[in-house]
Structure 1
Amino acid sequence: MTIEQLYEQAVLLLKQLISIPSYSKYEEATADAIASFLEQHGIASNRNLNNVWAVNKYFDPAKPTILLNSHHDTVHPNKQYTKDPFEPAVENEKLYGLGSNDAGGCLVSLIAAFLHFYDHPNLSHNLLLAATAEEEISGYNGIEALLGNKDFKATMGDNEPAFAIVGEPTLMNLAVAEKGLMVLDCIAHGRAGHAAREEGDNALYKAMKDIEWFSSYKFEKISEWMGPVKMNVTVIETENKAHNIVPSQCRYVVDVRVTDAYTHEEVFGIISQHVQSEIRPRSMRLRSTAIDVTHPIVQAGIALGKTCYGSPTSSDKALMPFPSLKCGPGDSARSHTADEFIYLHEIKDGIEGYIKMLEKVL
């Protein structure tokens, strides 16, 4: 197919995906739609939970494999939507709809690039397409489950992919590094008492001292691509709702964006040394990642005039124990916003960009 035909097919698929609710953990119908689309184009697909994957026609386990990955789950639409989030409307060259930008445009562009190379007989690498679930909640049944699936692993002869392109909206620039995420559940402990008699030990005041530290502390080491580690307190509450009781506990949540200058354990250790509150990390799975700028796929993008940068947001890239480049059409600033959209030309540019980058390494 020509680029124009690939583009037309990609837009039709994206409109279909927009019209189907696919909140994280409830992506069955979009997984069905993706599998059906591949089947219509003569490509057999495989299914693991709500993850759909396929390989190129002349797949050879003896060759290294390039993973082309993006997700088909979405967040819930926020209350400021003025348009139907499930109506794929085109206005002024913009395609509106929930998941259009994050990450539907990336997904259909990668699928189109996969179609382009599908039946090429003499590629230096295999291509493995994976449309995965639960990215928006960093769930266990998305890319992590797929990478551990025995059938998926057996296809590659139990080898890992050589590298991956992770489709997320980057304006087709090259997110060579990505901050990790560590969420902390914190509890400041005090002693209950009657507020009028100034009894007890106010846990809220203790929490405020720790929160002040979180807001002002500067980590010493600065990452070349991602800058400093960032910490933000995002939730706070006490166990009682009465105005006249000094709270004995105050719970709060801290969002910590970890760079490649520190491990999660190092950041957690520094925090533990400076605050009084009890601190429990929810997870340390989402690690900071980076791909060397000398890697062939990065150099391919640079040769096409793309810019390298460090991404402040996390993605499924964090769960890949092999080199991965985050790159895709659309703008991260539009993700999770009301009346989400992607420009139609961004999809076409995404397809062309992916094909040109892959041509340089295949």
Structure 2
Amino acid sequence: MSTGATNAAFDEVVRLLRFDTTSRDSNLAIVEYVTEKLRGVGVEPTLVPNEDGTKANLFATIPAADGTTSGGIVLSGHTDVVPVDGQVWASDPFDPVVRDGLLYGRGSCDMKAFIGVILAKLPQLVEARLAEPIHLAFSYDEEVGCLGAVSLIEAMQVAGLTPRGCIVGEPTSMRVVLGHKSINVFRIDFRGVAAHSSLTPEGVNAIVHASEFAVFAQRIADEFRDNGPFDEHYVVPFTTLSVNQINGGIAVNTVPAECSLVFEFRSVAAVDQAQLTQRFRTEVQRIDAVMSAQNPEAGAKLTVVAAAPGVDTPDDADIVSFAAACGAIPSPDKATFGTEAGLFAQAGIPTVVCGPGDIAQAHAPNEFIALEQIEQCERFLEGVIDSLSTSD
């Protein structure tokens, strides 16, 4: 095992934390930095930009000693972070500091520490005589619905990469996490007809119809809570559903013509994600018909804001035993949070979630990661290199 890599890993993590990669902004600066690091060790990355070119995914392959790029393991991470707006920090969130063995900074545990350790290990990765390749996959816009990883995985498939497994380095305290629920976010726009509140029959009240849907959604949430299906490996062992935002109306004496409602559900593997989504579409279509009957100008429309599949990797999958053999902590746990793991699994790549840090610190003010967790991640990456290296 390496003895001098800790300082290198720490330095790389600190450099990454100084990039403000809040999802609403560009991530190109950090992608350019990673590109330079890869080219510095002779690896040429592929960039997959978004439509307007303001953001980019990146993937790169460190081939096997014989030049093979098929098979191998993906190490996956996202470059974006959540905002710090309205949060009170004890220090600048983008100027990382260490206090009492903890490294503070936005993205420290979610999830730039994992990427930083990978960058620190690049010289070892390219010098190793690998029996099979290691693929690096870094995305944009994970924090706003796993948006970037969709085109990233498609580009990897077009390039002919066929990994046998993937490790998504989200914070699990270096435990091997086998699954998480799907993530599904929707907005419904209710278009009513305005009228003076003394003449309500002349209007169509958008808020009333939005409230009707909210009640419908809560009934479904109650069904899952009471009847399941259940998966006891989750802290909340059933599919959850909640209406989390609603906005409408302009004045107390005006029938509201507009109302928007945002809701989400997170489903366990036993629930058909598409079938449940269709259940909501059907209800919106019913409300749309009712509103249109009141006035042809009224109606309701559902928009999918984000939809990422869950993951439920069998505990006997090769990637599970591989991660454990590399030094990760075996566990039957499933994550309360969503990741890009479901997208890799959907693409036919068995995937686990395993990375440094504790999700309890993610997104919070004064986000931190314990330096000991960075060291554990280093040992894990060294285990990955050792496991994939040939003795020839």
TM-score range, shorter chain: 0.7 to 0.9
Does structure 1 residue 149 correspond to structure 2 residue 155?
Answer: yes
| 2:243 equivalent among 229, 233, 243 | 233
Measure the CA separation in 2 of the matches of 1:295 and 1:361.
17
AA aligned to 1:35 is T
Alignment gaps of 5+ in structure 2: 50-55, 288-299
Does structure 1 residue 185 correspond to structure 2 residue 187?
Answer: yes
Does structure 1 residue 130 correspond to structure 2 residue 137?
Answer: yes
1:319 aligned residue: 343
SS at match of 2:21: coil
AA aligned to 2:181 is K
Does structure 1 residue 222 correspond to structure 2 residue 229?
Answer: yes
* CA positional deviation for 1:127: 0.7
Output the TM-score relative to the length of structure 1: 0.86
The 8 Å contact of residues 180 and 310 in structure 2, kept in 1 or not, is answered as: yes
The 8 Å contact of residues 138 and 316 in structure 1, kept in 2 or not, is answered as: no
1:339 aligned residue: 366
Measure the CA separation in 2 of the matches of 1:108 and 1:242.
51
| 1:175 equivalent among 174, 177, 182 | 177
The 8 Å contact of residues 170 and 326 in structure 1, kept in 2 or not, is answered as: yes
Structure 1 residues 136 and 237 mapped into 2: Cα distance closer, same or farther (>3 Å)?
same
Alignment gaps of 5+ in structure 1: none
Measure the CA separation in 2 of the matches of 1:4 and 1:213.
59
SS at match of 2:88: coil
Measure the CA separation in 2 of the matches of 1:129 and 1:353.
16
Does structure 1 residue 104 correspond to structure 2 residue 121?
Answer: no
AA aligned to 1:18 is L
The 8 Å contact of residues 114 and 129 in structure 1, kept in 2 or not, is answered as: no
* CA positional deviation for 1:186: 2.1
SS at match of 2:60: strand
2:61 aligned residue: 55
Measure the CA separation in 2 of the matches of 1:170 and 1:279.
38
SS at match of 2:333: strand
The 8 Å contact of residues 51 and 146 in structure 1, kept in 2 or not, is answered as: yes
AA aligned to 2:240 is K
State the number of aligned residues. 353
2:35 aligned residue: 35
Across the aligned residues of Structure 1 and Structure 2, the Cα RMSD in angstroms comes to 2.8
Measure the CA separation in 2 of the matches of 1:301 and 1:308.
13
Output the TM-score relative to the length of structure 2: 0.80
AA aligned to 1:16 is R
Measure the CA separation in 1 of the matches of 2:70 and 2:46.
23
Alpha-carbon displacement from aligned partner over 1:208-233 (angstroms, at most 9, x marks no partner) = 33323323432344253443211111
AA aligned to 1:234 is N
Structure 1 residues 180 and 3 mapped into 2: Cα distance closer, same or farther (>3 Å)?
same
Structure 1 residues 138 and 207 mapped into 2: Cα distance closer, same or farther (>3 Å)?
closer
Identical counterparts, % of pairs: 22
2:18 aligned residue: 19
Measure the CA separation in 2 of the matches of 1:110 and 1:121.
17
Q: Runs of 4 or more off by more than 6 Å in structure 1?
A: none
| 1:210 equivalent among 205, 210, 213 | 213
The 8 Å contact of residues 110 and 167 in structure 1, kept in 2 or not, is answered as: no
Measure the CA separation in 1 of the matches of 2:129 and 2:8.
23
Measure the CA separation in 1 of the matches of 2:184 and 2:247.
20
